[in-house]
Amino acid sequence: MKNIIISIVFLSSFVVSFLSVNTVTFAAVDFSDIENSYAKNAINELVEKGIINGYPDGEFRPTSA
């Protein structure tokens, strides 16, 4: 019986820690160079999901080659 309780506690701890690892959120960033861009909402949404990011100086540079 003691082994079953230990197993349940261990499994529960594992599941909770696994679920908490997968709940990563990214902060919204206000890029100084997309304020009037038609793509501002799409850029911000992708940044919040962690798919893309901007430059350390606070710019996204949507027209840079």
Domain ranges of the chain: 23-65
Per-residue model confidence as pLDDT tens digits over 24-53: 556 667 888 998 899 999 999 999 888 999
The closest of 56, 62, 2, 12 to 33, measured between CA atoms, is 62
- Provide the greatest CA pair distance for the chain: 65
Query: What pLDDT score was predicted for residue 7?
Result: 78
2-14 residue pLDDT tens: 888 887 877 777 6
Rounded to two decimals, the pTM is: 0.55
The residue among 59 and 29 whose pLDDT is bigger is 59
